[in-house]
Amino acid sequence: MNPSLLALSLAVALGTTTVHATDAPPATKAAAPAMTANGDDPTDGGSRNKQPAKVQELGAVSVSAALDQARNALSPDTGSSQYVIDHQAIAQLPLGASTPMNQVLLQAPGVVQDSYGGLHVRGDHANLQYRINGVIIPESIGGFGQSLDARTIDTVKLLDGALPAQYGLRTAAVVDITTKSGHDLGNGGSVGITGGSNATLNPNASVWGSNDRWSWFLTGNYMENDVGIENPTPSKKPIHDHTNQAKGFGDISYLIDNDTRLSFLFGVANNRFQIPNRPGYMPQFGYLDMVDFNSADLDGHQRENTRFGVLALQGKLGATGYQVSVGQRYSRLAYTPDRIGELMFNGVASAVSRSNRASTLQADFATPLGNRHTLRYGIYGSFERAVSGNDAWVFPADAGGNPTSTTPINILDNSRLVARTWSAYVQDEWSLGENWTLNYGLRGDRYQLVRSESQLSPRLGLVWQATGSTTVHAGYSRYFTPPATEMIASSNIAKFDGTTNAVADSGNNTPLAERSDYFDAGVSQSIGSAWTVGVDAYYRKVQRLQDEGQFGSALVYSTFNYAAGRVKGLEFTANYAQGPLSAYFNASLGKAIGRRIITSQYNFAPDDLAWVNNHWIFLDHDQKLTSSGGISYALDDSTRVGADYLFGSGLRKDGSVPNGASLPAYFQLNFNVSHDFAFDRFGKLHTQLALLNVLDRTYELRDGSGIGVGAPQFGPRRGVFLSLQKDF
């Protein structure tokens, strides 16, 4: 179906629905706050950084809720730092459940925004691990699209710091998502639409329910607008920046018996982007008899496809709880250049494609040993096939890089990679008394690509419940982080000798696994029943520090290594929830530096390599100060107003040395108001009006300079958006 017709159809369906709201309230988990059918009603205060209440009486809850509790017991967070955002807190954001996943995570401490929707947590570049209901979802190829939809979320926890042995490979942070469940929500659905500035149109539809032992939650949405990628200019309207994005997610489960559940998770995303243009640039090369080309007329495109499916079996064998899953994820990215234009501006036009198919096996077990010990252990395996294609057109050139002809030649540079990963862990959670808990363990990882790399990693975490309101944690973790296979392109550099795309082959061109020692300590304090405050400090000493950069015209990331890195920081959080008022505040101070680039050197200018070889430099994604916060107030049962903000002291740019300066600080303020209208025949209609970047401040995320940085990127200008949502 044509995407625009789909959007129009959903909009019409919203306007003509006459189904009454469900009379009977949906079933909810015991000890959890009441919620509406879709769990997005923001009239109740959303909770942040608070663990859901544990179910104490098994007889008072459904089998599904008991299994949810058992699944959570498989994933400890002893000694690590965590920040929790639930579905109600998401509903209170300006765009509500239409908020992209990266914007949801930006509300947590230590999370820095970057161009193309990228995130950095505690001075790391990407390296995030996504889990859905305890199952690892292999990462997709980096790009602009958000593969996951916030409408699927019941709660999301951001775990970072010194993680237990269960967590490995991708360790900057674990994004641990618990999805909404048909057993909890009852039978129903929802349809809605968000529209506004930059020709934004974002219809969505969801359906959920249960029947005896079956349960399901399905959601899908389509989005199009004229600012798919950050504008490379400060103008209000970018040039050639339209996007079409379609996403879907499903969770279907079957209760085999009271102790066993079989679940099928699946998701799909199909995203298309125009590459935005910068006017006023002059061509550097001629093409046949052409010498002029308007840079505003370039016509580059990128397409990203992701799909995954996971079959998970959860249950008990005696006293041992387990979850075993098998899954597969396929991801593909394809960049289509404007051949003539890019040849004239850059001397090379490359149709770049990357794809990766990952098949996974994961098994986690938890066995109580008496009253004081819980033994957890498990394995993880991944088999990946990655394909990289580069269909390049270049001009022949002399030894000095000057073109000798205006007639381009075609060079094909394709590669195939097979990567295997095996991991195993064992850990013991030891209750030393009423107030002390020690979690210690050992993890082993092995990654095989061009070479085999492996490591045994000890983990140690300690939690002290100093008082009923004060919790102290400290931990140490040794980490092993293999390069992202889908980011690796095994280029044959010699093929481009004697062309305008020639580069120096300066050393090892295959990225290495990163190895690091991570130290983390913090304290959380509850003040009365409304306030929770926390302070956390961390330090990471890194060997073979991994970073990513965008090299060339195609907006595709590639991995490289620094020989050494140092990352440290301090975080502060405060949360308030009392009656109709809720508020949060986060502030982070960080520093991330690296020295000597030891892989993929061909991507860098010789002068930059020479400097970095002998000096420590700031990483391009280093940001000294980062802060986020928000406030939400319910005027009555139907109306709520709110505001939130993002602040950053600026990412790095080149100064007198590589990455030697920082961009100006930025501050983005957003307002929103929501109201539920009640109609006799129609039922309740939820409306939400959002005003983003209220002050219309122009700010720059990137200026195009720095190690591994591509084009300039500006933050969003002022925008107005209206959301309508109808549950049935």
Query: How would you write 20-80 as a 3-class SS string?
Result: CCCCCCCCCCCCCCCCCCCCCCCCCCCCECCCCCCCCCHHHCCHHHHHHHHHHHCCCCCCC
Domain harbouring 408, CATH code: 2.40.170.20
Q: Other C-beta atoms within 10 Å of 605: how many?
A: 12
Write down the residue that tokens 């699944």 correspond to: 71
Render pLDDT for 329-350 as a digit per residue (tens, 0 to 9): 999 989 999 999 999 999 999 9
Low-confidence ranges of the chain (pLDDT < 70): 1-62, 140-145, 487-491, 505-507, 551-555
The DSSP bridge partners found for residue 132 are 135, 177
Which pLDDT value is given to residue 400? Answer: 83
Q: Which domain holds residue 20?
A: 3-727
Which pLDDT value is given to residue 562? Answer: 94
| Cβ contact 135:266 at 8 Å | no
Euclidean distance between CA atoms 98 and 690, whole angstroms:
11
> Which H or E run contains 422?
strand 415-431
Euclidean distance between CA atoms 312 and 215, whole angstroms:
14
Which pLDDT value is given to residue 145? Answer: 57
Which pLDDT value is given to residue 68? Answer: 76
Which pLDDT value is given to residue 544? Answer: 95
Can you spell out the DSSP letters for 630-648? Answer: EEEEESSSSEEEEEEEEEE
Q: Is the dihedral of CA 670, 675, 676, 678 positive or negative?
A: negative
| Cβ-proximal residues to 16 (8 Å cutoff; 6+ apart), any chain | none
pTM over 0.85: yes
- What is the CB-side half-sphere exposure of residue 588 using CA atoms within 13 A? 27
The DSSP bridge partners found for residue 685 are 677
Distance from the Cα of residue 586 to its chain's centroid: 19
Which pLDDT value is given to residue 96? Answer: 92
> Which H or E run contains 607?
helix 606-614
Biggest distance spanned by C-alpha atoms of the chain: 83
Buried b (16+ CB within 10 A) or exposed e, 485-520: bbbbbebeeebbebbbbbbeeeeebebbbbbbbbbb
Q: Other C-beta atoms within 10 Å of 359: how many?
A: 15
Q: Are strands 625-634 and 581-597 parallel, antiparallel or unpaired?
A: antiparallel
Which pLDDT value is given to residue 45? Answer: 55
| Cβ-proximal residues to 542 (8 Å cutoff; 6+ apart), any chain | 514, 515, 516, 562, 564, 565, 566, 567, 594
Which pLDDT value is given to residue 489? Answer: 64
Which pLDDT value is given to residue 261? Answer: 94
Euclidean distance between CA atoms 699 and 714, whole angstroms:
6
Render pLDDT for 77-128 as a digit per residue (tens, 0 to 9): 777 788 999 999 999 999 999 999 889 999 999 999 988 888 899 998 878 8
At 100, give phi and psi (nearest 5°): -60, 155
Question: What's the structural domain count of the chain?
Answer: 1
